[in-house]
Amino acid sequence: MSWRPASWQSRKALQQPTYADQAALEGAVGQLSKLPPLVVSWEIEALRERLAAAQRGEQFLLQAGDCAESLAECESDRIAKQLKVILQLSLVLLHGLKKPVIRVGRMAGQYAKPRSADTETRDGVTLACYRGDIVNRPEFTPEAREPDPQLLLRGYERAGLTLNFVRALIDGGFADLHHPEYWDLGFLHHSPLRVAYERIVRDIGDSLDFFHALSGSQVHEARRVDFYASHEGLHLMYEQAQTRFIPRSQRWYNLSTHMPWIGLRTAQLDGAHVEYFRGISNPIGVKVGAAMDDAWLQELVTTLNPQNQPGRLTLIHRFGARDIEKSLPRLINAVRATGHSVLWVCDPMHGNTESTKSGVKTRRLENIQQELELAFQIHAAHGSALGGVHLEMTGEDVTECTGGARGLSDADLARDYRTQVDPRLNYEQALELGMMIAERSKKVRLP
Ligand code: PEP
Ligand code: CO
């Protein structure tokens, strides 16, 4: 079966928009395929090697960001805050786990969303569903919901602007491990977690000083913080247009992001997404849920990583606190039976979504913490290891998930609920989750 960037087009592609004007779509995709790539293959390979190290238990993946980015919120303050909270969280994890943390943002291209229904009906009026800012707009009007091919270009541009800003901040020393005070989010001063976080920052500063005294010149390397981008590779025309052949390595790469992933709703073995993903050389993720049977998962593993290349395949499981004990052991054993290795990551968000009595979509921090805790325990009990965590969170003080040190309740959700799609942890809830991981790993290390 030969593979081409467009070979997915002969398969069934779920969750794709229907464009009224094919010529306009082809025009936009044609432009997109000529524009420069957003990332380069050697960065992608560097990430794959780090993920291979995580697979061996030597590093830990933190993949985090918005459920859906929006074109309008491509703003410096928001991006800087998102980066800061990811950096802070990575510091907490580094301190607790005592291993390098791989920082991967759900950023710079997380614009296409899978939906449970193709249409939405309000007061007897039915329109196409909102599929993310790269496709259409969320307002409930026929104009806003019409898929617009130009949005593919707007999404690519915003992804480029986001990445450019993130790279500049990181290269400019913003992410210098010696100066975590630059990452201060202001509202941390009023947080019940402040003391614990400041102790971690002090400890890391002390160990860097110690490292400096010990190894002199090498300290420069310890400062470097890498940051990678990822998004759900859902909109296949967009992904195809940014897929390039690299003559040096004789391989195809998706150069719109470092690590695209296949969502839960589009992981069918005979589907277009699996066909597209099998041909690109990026490290890739696949979301895995309770409905996946053993044979399905096994075939995904062998189809997407036939050479069993280390770092190539990350399985991001998302069961919900209630189902993880039933489903995860089975899937660990199923993958083991293939003889292939994967990186196991827990997404404790998507299986724990619920609605309040008044119909607001939310998640409880206690369920998120519980699923994550169980994930660590179940992997350990089955001779496997949890090598990362996948979170939806924001650097802003939103009220979308309940619980946490401030005890947010259903009634508090109305205060600052902004997400268009899934509820995110706010900066404080995210740090609290990070501290839980750090604390548990200290306990686990005790004899
Ligand atoms: C997501 O990550 O936002 C998402 C839709 O997840 P899943 O595919 O696991 O439902
Ligand atoms: Co989501």
Average pLDDT over residues 326-333: 98
| Residue 176 to residue 185: CA distance in whole angstroms | 16
pLDDT at residue 214, rounded to an integer = 64
Average pLDDT over residues 15-41: 98
- What residues contact 171, with CB distance under 8 A and at least 6 apart? none
More confident residue, 396 or 151: 151
pLDDT at residue 194, rounded to an integer = 81
Nearest in space to 229 (alpha carbons), one of 111, 108, 319:
108
Residue having the nearest C-alpha atom to atom 10 of ligand 1: 264
The answer, yes or no, to whether any atom of ligand 1 lies below 6 A from the CB of 106, is: no
- What residues contact 406, with CB distance under 8 A and at least 6 apart? 192, 428
The answer, yes or no, to whether any atom of ligand 1 lies below 6 A from the CB of 67, is: yes
Relative to the alpha carbon of 319, which ligand is closest? 1
Task: Please give the distance, rounded to the nearest whole angstrom, from the Cα atom of residue 38 to the centre of ligand 1.
Answer: 23
pLDDT at residue 203, rounded to an integer = 80
Q: How does residue 209 score in pLDDT terms, banded at 50, 70 and 90?
A: confident
Average pLDDT over residues 106-114: 98
Do residues 25 and 244 make contact, with C-beta atoms less than 8 angstroms apart?
Answer: no
Tens-place pLDDT, residues 265-316: 999 999 999 999 999 999 999 999 999 999 999 999 999 999 999 999 999 9
| Residue 154 to residue 112: CA distance in whole angstroms | 13
- Does residue 187 register a pLDDT over 90? no
pLDDT at residue 211, rounded to an integer = 65
pLDDT at residue 197, rounded to an integer = 81
The enclosing H or E element of 445 equals helix 427-445
Q: How does residue 198 score in pLDDT terms, banded at 50, 70 and 90?
A: confident
pLDDT at residue 190, rounded to an integer = 73
Residue having the nearest C-alpha atom to atom 3 of ligand 1: 67
| Residue 62 to residue 65: CA distance in whole angstroms | 10
- Does residue 447 register a pLDDT over 50? no
* 354-355/228-232 β-pairing: unpaired
User: For tokens 């719109």, what's the residue?
Assistant: 256
Q: Which domains does the chain have, with CATH numbers?
A: 7-445 (3.20.20.70)
- Does residue 191 register a pLDDT over 90? no
Relative to the alpha carbon of 261, which ligand is closest? 1
Tokens read off for 207: 């160990």
User: For tokens 């619980």, what's the residue?
Assistant: 403
Tens-place pLDDT, residues 249-258: 999 999 999 9
Tens-place pLDDT, residues 334-358: 999 999 999 999 999 999 999 999 9
The enclosing H or E element of 284 equals strand 284-288
The answer, yes or no, to whether any atom of ligand 1 lies below 6 A from the CB of 273, is: no
Nearest in space to 410 (alpha carbons), one of 349, 356, 350:
356
Is residue 123 helix, strand or coil?
Answer: coil
More confident residue, 343 or 226: 343
| Residue 208 to residue 281: CA distance in whole angstroms | 36
Given the CA of residue 110, which atom of ligand 1 is nearest to it?
3
Locate the DSSP E strands across 173-242. Answer: 228-232
Across 47-61, 214-228, 405-419, the highest mean pLDDT is recorded for: 47-61
| Residue 386 to residue 372: CA distance in whole angstroms | 9
Task: Please give the distance, rounded to the nearest whole angstrom, from the Cα atom of residue 352 to the centre of ligand 2.
Answer: 11
Given the CA of residue 113, which atom of ligand 1 is nearest to it?
5
Task: Please give the distance, rounded to the nearest whole angstrom, from the Cα atom of residue 115 to the centre of ligand 1.
Answer: 10
Residue having the nearest C-alpha atom to atom 4 of ligand 1: 263
**Which pTM was predicted?**
0.95
Tokens read off for 273: 């997404």
Is residue 210 helix, strand or coil?
Answer: helix
Average pLDDT over residues 138-153: 98
Task: Please give the distance, rounded to the nearest whole angstrom, from the Cα atom of residue 392 to the centre of ligand 2.
Answer: 7
Q: At what angle do helices 76-97 and 150-171 cross, to 10 degrees?
A: 60
pLDDT at residue 206, rounded to an integer = 78
Average pLDDT over residues 159-163: 98
> Could you give the percent of the chain with pLDDT greater than 70?
94
Average pLDDT over residues 15-27: 97
